[in-house]
Amino acid sequence: MTLFEDIYKLFFDKIVQDIDFFEYGTTEEEALDIAEKRSKAYLLKSIDILVNQCNVDVNFYDKDDTLEQFNFDLVSKEKTLFSNMMYEIYFEQDLVKLRLFEEYFSRKDLKRFDPNAQKRLYLESLNLIKVENIRQIKNYESRDRITGQLKGLDYTGWDDQV
């Protein structure tokens, strides 16, 4: 069994600098609970994305949402892949904040600070994350999840059809 928390920890390591994700004006325990709930939503969405984008060897829906665990052991590569996909989802959420932030600038502020340049840099970063995640998904799909060996084509039965 793999706990969702194992993946949350990998994800938290990626966003440790974002104080807003962990700071809610509550106790540390309550803040961690809120961060884990947000992370769970990101994880569930990343499961849907992975299952829809590639042929997987296991059923990632074989999980217990109440106990917050998969009913089988994920390999390290799967945990990392999910945490990377969660990071992409998290990054996309912040794009909305950037758009709202633009509305609070006065014309005078806009002369000194160009939000479009910031947005462009943000979108370039997001695109790099997306491209890397697609590469990792394709790599994951092409390999055996346990051994990491490239999957081969099964040609048995092809001679019968010729």
Q: Please report which helix (H) or strand (E) contains residue 63, including its range.
A: strand 63-64
- Relative orientation angle of helices 76-102 and 115-141, to the nearest 10 degrees: 160
DSSP summary character for residue 153:
P
Overall pTM surpassing 0.85 (yes/no): no
Please report the pLDDT score of residue 145 as a whole number. 93
Q: Which of 43, 49, 52, 58 is nearest to 3 (CA)?
A: 43
User: Quick check: 4 and 17 in contact, CB under 8 A?
Assistant: no
pLDDT tens digits, residue range 45-94?
Answer: 999 999 999 999 999 999 999 999 999 999 999 999 999 999 999 989 87
Residue 110 — pLDDT band, cuts 50, 70, 90? low
Percent of the chain with pLDDT over 90: 57
What is the edge-to-edge ordering of all strands in the sheet holding 63-64? Answer: 2-3, 69-70, 63-64
